Structure 1
Amino acid sequence: MDTSSTSVTDDNQETYREVKKDQLNEDRVNVFVELKLMIHKLKTLEDFRMTYYHHQI
């Protein structure tokens, strides 16, 4: 009787760990995507600035 209850708790713990890991991976991916977007925006801004100043001169 006692052992079955612990195994259920272990299973829940394991599932919880898996879920946390998935969540972490998802967060990591989201951060990466946001970084890529920011870098892209910065590059675009830089290109714009270069052309803008280039035309000014």
Structure 2
Amino acid sequence: MHRPRCWGGDDLLVHYKAIESDGVFSLEEAPVVSFVAERGPLGLQAARVRLA
């Protein structure tokens, strides 16, 4: 799991199951992605993550 930084400075949890791309199971350091922020059991997390 990664904790990318949003433009506003908050960290988000990203679980590999939230990545919407065939064959992608991890993110490199500082990728450009689009996502929807949702509140989950561990706090703020990214959902519907797509590589830009």
- Indicate the TM-score class for this superposition, using the shorter chain for normalisation: under 0.3
Return the structure number with greater strand share: 2
**Structure 2 length normalisation: TM-score?**
0.13
Higher helix share: 1
Higher relative contact order (CA 8 A, sep 6+): 2
Greater Cα radius of gyration, structure 1 or 2: 1
